[in-house]
Amino acid sequence: MGGRPEALWPLFGDLEGLPGIGARTARLFAQIGAKRPRDLILTLPQGGIDRTPVASLRAVVPPAVATVEVTVLRHLPPRSRGAPARVIVEDAGTTFQLVWFHARGDRLAKLLPPGARRLVSGRVELFDGVLQMVHPDHVLAPEAAAGLPAFEPVYPLTEGLTSRAVARAVAAALERAPALPEWIDPALKAREGWPSWRAALEAAHAPRGPADLSPAAPARARLAYDELFAHQLTLALARAVERRGKGRPSAGDGRLRARVEAMLPYRLTGAQRRALDEIAADMARPHRMNRLLQGDVGAGKTVVAFLALLIAVEAGGQGVLMAPTEILARQHAEGLAPLAAAAGVRLELLTGRDKGAERRRKLAALADGGIDILVGTHAVFQKDVAFADLRLAVIDEQHRFGVAQRMELGQKGGGADVLVMTATPIPRSLALANYGDMDLSLIDEKPPGRTPVATAAVPVARIGEVVEHLRAAIAEGRQAYWVCPLVEESEAVDLAAASDRFGRLRAALGEGVVGLVHGQMPPSEKDAAMARFVAGETKVLVATTVIEVGVNVPNASIMVIEEAQGFGLAQLHQLRGRVGRGAARSTCLLLYTPPLTESAERRLQILRETEDGFRIAEEDLALRGAGDLLGTAQSGLPRFRIADIERQAGLMATAQADARRLLGDDPGLHGPRGQAARLLLWLMEQDRAFRLMSVG
């Protein structure tokens, strides 16, 4: 691949070579994320100040930034130590004071000789009835006034760095920016009316007004697109390498699927059918499938995944379904057992609990093809687990598995297809940012027969009424979850709160009616408590964590969430999705402690308005931002300097389609546009892309 192209060398040197930047200033620039000229040109202004001159401050309503030409009248030295120096000036309609603290008198005398004309610009305030401009930003002789832009860009700053110093450094860095060949698709560039790369940089750093600072301004949109395109090109290269990996075509004849569909109490929805067709088409191709199956809580993803596993069995191979926790693995195995029986396939569960002879028996059956479908936790990653012929791996709940684990699983099956299921609806833009190397199947309609959940927000002062409501529901034979508040810092605090709530509910509702699960219980106790609730022996389950509640209890029709204002939107939506699974009318009660912050109020409001997980996810993205939504630590979300995933979602989708198309036409990036795209990848430091290209 060679090293960084020579055209880009000037942008990747030290900042110290730029005028006015020494070692100390370079350290300050590093604090705003600029270590090289390349970083400076990609550090766009955050705002701007209107410096258009006015004839007189009489026209200005303080406090405001104003620019005006004045005549210097006289200097008033400080009245006492620490008092400011003042200079009285007059414009065309009024007199006012320029004020400096800790100024040297001789410097002011030189800057503002009495009788001289000067252009001054700064923040004007009224202090004790006197108009003042404290520490003007600019004091210029009239002939130098042309150097002051009518709209001055404001850059991100740190202590010791002025906006003017940043602007000067950016201007010097821009002089080093070469003209580069165009990597954007010409038709797209023309349709959007985008400038060339070099022109876009110059325009973005010289905004003429507030409209030029908007993400939609052509220069900014183009630079954002460059970033998204480089990112998606890297993901598209990863996808191409992945697809060149030896896959195996698995085409089924449909006989097993037909048996299962015949016994389902409902017909598949259009969305389920479409997702299944996309998966089947991928599995029949010779390259490896790498697909994300995304659907809202209760949209029927598991059935689709099971039917996909049957394709693997129809084709003469095996399938594996992996869940993040033992409880969920067990639940999948129990839920799928009747479907497996209908299809006449052998399904087994393997978890960390299988020991000794039992484990050896299962491993032998896997290795000789006796087991068709294995359900398990990540225990199936262990070295001694070998499949006779693994064709499809389904991973439930993406967030527990990183890209590295996806790859590892692929290796187990010598090219097994991979299907990742997630019940977290992620807005499309984020799904593309995070899983752009995967193909996306969406299940965006609910199967018939699910009852909507009535959602109400109740202040904690009315908790007594909530307990009475529970008592009445239990008398009718219904069951309820009670989720205790989440204190991120301390499991001990969570536990104390849950034990306390458990004690109070038991006192109110009776012994043996209330169960408790929390994060610090040994797994066997947790499973036993869950099992009692699933069997209907306990009527109310008090739980500390969201995860424990990933179970399916159709008879549970009430969800109480304590201190709901402390949970994120997606979490609340996931929790609520645990009820409304049976025919009974379900309720979700959000207990909160007033006063609510504006965003907490908005969260509870959105939940009351809608059960559409995708709409909730979009709202969540707007409220919290992308890093929070996926939990930045494990999301591996790219850090964009210019692009704003929240506001430029459409650009992300365009970038993905364009990147995949470019690689389709020119897999080695050797053509003119491919060569330009290589420059972009170097510029955006997507070194991973070059490693991927050498693999390919």
The residue among 132, 138, 137, 147 whose CA lies nearest residue 118 is 138
In a domain, 345, yes or no: yes
2-57 per-position pLDDT tens digit: 688 999 999 998 888 888 888 899 999 999 889 999 999 999 999 999 999 999 99
Is pLDDT above 80 for 114?
Answer: yes
DSSP alpha helix (H) spans, 245-300: 255-263, 270-284
In a domain, 224, yes or no: no
> Is residue 57 domain-shared with residue 36, that is, in the same domain?
no
> Is residue 353 domain-shared with residue 479, that is, in the same domain?
no
- Least confident range of 118-132, 253-267, 312-326, 476-490: 476-490
Q: For 66, list phi and psi in degrees, rounded to 5.
A: -140, 155
Is pLDDT above 60 for 385?
Answer: yes
> Is residue 420 domain-shared with residue 282, that is, in the same domain?
yes
> Is residue 278 domain-shared with residue 396, that is, in the same domain?
yes
Cβ proximity of 471 and 508 under 8 Å: yes
Cβ proximity of 57 and 96 under 8 Å: yes
497-511 per-position pLDDT tens digit: 888 899 999 999 988
297-323 per-position pLDDT tens digit: 777 889 999 999 999 999 999 999 998
Band of pLDDT at residue 545, cut at 50, 70 and 90: low
User: Looking up tokens 């087994």, which residue turns up?
Assistant: 348
Mean pLDDT over 418-445 rounds to 78
Mean pLDDT over 442-452 rounds to 76
Is pLDDT above 50 for 631?
Answer: no
Is pLDDT above 60 for 168?
Answer: yes
Q: Which residue has the higher pLDDT, 413 or 238?
A: 238
The residue among 375, 385, 388 whose CA lies nearest residue 421 is 375
Non-local CB neighbours of 677 within 8 Å, separated by 6+ positions: 183, 229, 233, 662, 669
Domain closes at, from 213, 231, 247: 213
61-96 per-position pLDDT tens digit: 999 999 999 999 999 988 888 889 999 999 999 999
Q: Which residues of 125-141 are buried (b: 16+ CB within 10 A; e: fewer)?
A: eeeeeebbbbebbbbbe
Q: How many domains does the chain have?
A: 4
> Is residue 498 domain-shared with residue 593, that is, in the same domain?
yes
Non-local CB neighbours of 554 within 8 Å, separated by 6+ positions: 581, 582
Q: What is the CATH number of the domain that holds 367?
A: 3.40.50.300
- Least confident range of 53-62, 371-380, 656-665: 371-380
In a domain, 206, yes or no: yes
> Is residue 481 domain-shared with residue 592, that is, in the same domain?
yes
> Is residue 175 domain-shared with residue 97, that is, in the same domain?
no
pLDDT at residue 3 in the model: 82
pLDDT at residue 406 in the model: 55
In a domain, 497, yes or no: yes
Q: What is the CATH number of the domain that holds 117?
A: 2.40.50.140
In a domain, 162, yes or no: no
- Taking only Cα atoms into account, the Rg of the chain, rounded to an integer number of angstroms, comes to 32
Mean pLDDT over 393-406 rounds to 65
CA distance 177 to 18: 13
Band of pLDDT at residue 629, cut at 50, 70 and 90: very low
In a domain, 68, yes or no: yes
Band of pLDDT at residue 411, cut at 50, 70 and 90: low
pLDDT at residue 67 in the model: 96
> Is residue 332 domain-shared with residue 459, that is, in the same domain?
no
Domain closes at, from 401, 420, 443: 443
- Domain range for 518: 453-610
CA distance 657 to 236: 9
Average pLDDT, the chain: 87
The residue among 254, 198, 249 whose CA lies nearest residue 226 is 198
CA distance 258 to 453: 33
Of these ranges, 164-173, 481-490, 492-501, the one predicted with the greatest mean pLDDT is 164-173
> Is residue 191 domain-shared with residue 317, that is, in the same domain?
no
pLDDT at residue 396 in the model: 86
Cβ proximity of 191 and 51 under 8 Å: no
> Is residue 462 domain-shared with residue 553, that is, in the same domain?
yes
The neighbouring-strand residues paired with 515 are 541
- The DSSP call for residue 537 is S
In a domain, 1, yes or no: no
Is pLDDT above 60 for 581?
Answer: yes
In a domain, 619, yes or no: no
> Is residue 72 domain-shared with residue 14, that is, in the same domain?
no
> Is residue 297 domain-shared with residue 373, that is, in the same domain?
yes
Domain closes at, from 579, 594, 610: 610
- Least confident range of 433-442, 572-581, 620-629, 670-679: 620-629
